[in-house]
Chain A
Amino acid sequence: DAGVTQSPTHLIKTRGQHVTLRCSPISGHKSVSWYQQVLGQGPQFIFQYYEKEERGRGNFPDRFSARQFPNYSSELNVNALLLGDSALYLCASSPTGSENIQYFGAGTRLSVL
């Protein structure tokens, strides 16, 4: 069975641009979470979605938004990119009833120049 898949794997953008990152959860998982991880630090929670509804939001500016589709895949959008948005963006999915167990994708490495 396929794990959590994310695309693209790498992305280079310039300041002020916007970016869309995509995530497909493990088949049957309805919960998707997004994280930002800066080198040397722990993942920072951005959003959690369950059944297309936002269930959790971390301390990130409104430039960050996300949505979940009927097939439970998800997109993370970041507008007006800043240099500080350069990071590894991780997506994780969880089985229903076991939201504490998260299965992570390999991430999207975003570089903002």
Chain B
Amino acid sequence: GQSLEQPSEVTAVEGAIVQINCTYQTSGFYGLSWYQQHDGGAPTFLSYNALDGLEETGRFSSFLSRSDSYGYLLLQELQMKDSASYFCAVRDAGGNYGQNFVFGPGTRLSVLP
């Protein structure tokens, strides 16, 4: 089956750097994505890695190692508004019809002043 693992909670202070890890087990693999969700809000897309390596988008970077079935989201220069839940997600070839989206359980990030 498919499964993703993330730490449940991470706490950091403003201005710091935090890394949120994600390991996955899937049948087939079409890339690892990251989403941010504030309380009461909808998930919003942050980053996507199809190939190994680092993708940088402003203060956020995402890394993927397909051989290790592992990725991480790196948040730099943390701001209070970054306090939210962060989800990794994969699209794989599993499921009854060949495509399936799987989200991780989420990591709740708390940024302290």
Q: Which residues of A are interface residues toward B (Cβ below 8 A)?
A: 33, 35, 40-45, 48, 54-58, 90, 92, 99-107
Whole-angstrom distance from the CB of A60 to the nearest CB of chain B?
Answer: 11
B48 is contacted by which of A44, A92, A101, A104 (Cβ under 8 Å)? A101
A56, A90, A104: most-surrounded residue (chain B CB, <10 A)? A56
Q: Is the CB of B42 within 8 A of A90?
A: yes
CB-based nearest A residue for B92: A56
Q: How far is the CA of A62 from the CA of B107 in the complex (A)?
A: 31
| 9 CB-based A-B contacts, threshold 8 Å | A41-B106, A42-B87, A55-B99, A57-B96, A58-B100, A100-B30, A100-B91, A102-B35, A106-B42
Q: Which residues of A contact B103 (CB under 8 A)?
A: 35, 42-45
Q: How far is the CA of A57 from the CA of B98 in the complex (A)?
A: 9
Q: How far is the CA of A11 from the CA of B35 in the complex (A)?
A: 26
Q: Is the CB of A56 within 8 A of B106?
A: no
Given contact pairs A54-B97, A102-B101, a sample of 6 additional A-B residue pairs in the complex whose CB atoms are under 8 Å apart? A48-B101, A55-B99, A57-B100, A90-B43, A102-B45, A103-B45
Whole-angstrom distance from the CB of A29 to the nearest CB of chain B?
Answer: 13
Q: Which residues of A contact B19 (CB under 8 A)?
A: none
Q: Which residues of A contact B48 (CB under 8 A)?
A: 100-101
A33, A42, A56, A57: most-surrounded residue (chain B CB, <10 A)? A42
Q: Which residues of B contact A57 (CB under 8 A)?
A: 95-97, 100
Indicate whether A99 sits within 8 Å of B91 (C-beta atoms), given known contacts A54-B97, A56-B99: yes
A48 is contacted by which of B35, B50, B99 (Cβ under 8 Å)? B99
Q: How far is the CA of A35 from the CA of B96 in the complex (A)?
A: 16
